[in-house]
A = this chain, B = another copy of it.
Amino acid sequence: MEEIFIPIWGVNKASKGGIIYGDYLQLDKIVSAQVLQSEVKGNKIHDEHLFIVTHQAYELWFKQILFELDSVRHLFISEHVRDERNMLKVNNRIHRIVMIFKLLVDQFAVLETMTALDFFDFREYLAPASGFQSLQFRILENKIGVPDNLRVPYNRRHYRDNFKGHESEMLLATEQEPTLLKLVEEWLERTPGLEVDGFNFWERLEINIFDGLNLEKEKIEKMEDSEDKEEMMAELVKQKELFTSLFDEKRHDHLLSKGERRLSYKALQGALMINFYREEPRFQVPFQLLTSLMDIDTLMTKWRYNHVCMVHRMIGSKAGTGGSSGYHYLRSTVSDRYKVFVDLFNLATFLVPRHWVPKLNPTIHTFLYMAECCDSSYCSSEDSD
């Protein structure tokens, strides 16, 4: 804040009776909240202070992430995103979450200045406190869209059972709210150009792809017999299978039921469409959004993986001679099961040469150049958060 405060507009409303820095930030609470259990128990261990501050910093940032996440979900829920003016806001806030997660990954470097020996000296005083009990982190996972049934179980307990009654209820409630995944899905389903009675992107794409593959097949068949030819034909067969599966809605639903896909069939089509036509003015910001959603997934797994590395160093891989260890549990959460937007990554499997992508006709082209004009009440520059 250090001097980012100056030019007051018109009336300097606060100048005399205004608020000062420490009160504004409630520093009395923030910097008095470090009570070392080792000290309470009569054996003050220096490094416990770092341990506490680091975790408090994590929780502060989790709060910020939740704040951004809720505002984005609100924008989606209230259909504000139908006014495309709000896409910049959605995009910026999702990007801010990305930047915070980057910081949180880097933040491990500070805690890593503590050695296993330093940690050993106070870890007994912490029991049974555990990061499992980070309510905000579980809420965060729920609100983004980690579903209950894909969570890795730990010691055969349901994750909610690690929490007290009212916390457990809060968690249950967040499971039932629309997740970011769900809201993005609905938005993708509305992608202009998907209309069956309009541009009908999906059917056009299917036709182009199979035409393309058939043309390839004819070319290969004209080649003289050789090992090369065989390989290319084998590869072609694979490609055909791959795309046959893409256009098979039943197969999609099967993968959905197993948790290997997470978006609806229609939303997947929208995502692919935005990818192919990302340079059209109306798709530029949506395309950025899809990229940022993958960034969140990637950074959350990087966070998990950095966490695993630190735990390995702090307590080793074995939690005694029997039972599953914290280390191995955490390791198992660094998994694609926890990637909420896994479908966006897997789109890369379905890319095709540019000339196979259906050409826009003038109607749809114009369409993609023009955002719909919203309710005229938005035409002022007033901001409704």
* Identity of the chain B residue whose Cβ is nearest the Cβ of A113 in the assembled complex: B96
Residues B29 and A316 in contact, CB atoms below 8 Å apart: no
Query: Is the CB of A184 closer than 8 A to any CB of chain B?
Result: no
CB–CB B113/A3 < 8 A: no
Provided the pairs A60-B30, A357-B381 are in contact, do residues A5 and B130 lie with their beta carbons within 8 angstroms? yes
Flag whether A168 is at the interface (Cβ < 8 A).
no
Q: Which residues of B contact A102 (CB under 8 A)?
A: 109
Q: Which residues of B contact A326 (CB under 8 A)?
A: 2-6
Q: Are A314 and B348 in contact (CB under 8 A)?
A: yes
B307 contacts A301, C-beta separation under 8 Å? no
Q: Which of A1, A87, A279, A380 is packed against the most chain B CB atoms within 10 Å?
A: A1
Question: Contacts A231-B15, A329-B3 known; A27 to B59 CB distance under 8 Å?
Answer: yes
CB distance from A341 to the nearest CB of B (A): 11
Interface string of A96-120 (1 = CB under 8 A from B): 1001101100110110010111011
Pick from B44, B57, B164: contact of A60, CB under 8 Å: B57
Check B60–A60 contact: CB distance below 8 A. yes
List residues of chain B with CB within 8 A of the CB of A96: 50, 110, 113
A196 contacts the other chain (CB 8 A): no
Known: A11-B232, A24-B129, A126-B5. A59 touches B85 (CB 8 A): no
- CB of A277 within 8 A of chain B? yes
Q: Assess whether A134 is in contact with B370, with CB atoms less than 8 Å apart.
A: no
A-B contacts besides A4-B311, A31-B63, 15 pairs, CB < 8 Å: A1-B131, A9-B353, A10-B212, A11-B219, A23-B129, A26-B33, A30-B56, A34-B63, A53-B61, A116-B351, A117-B275, A281-B282, A312-B345, A357-B381, A370-B371
7 sampled A-B residue pairs with Cβ under 8 A: A6-B315, A15-B228, A242-B320, A294-B313, A314-B348, A317-B349, A362-B376
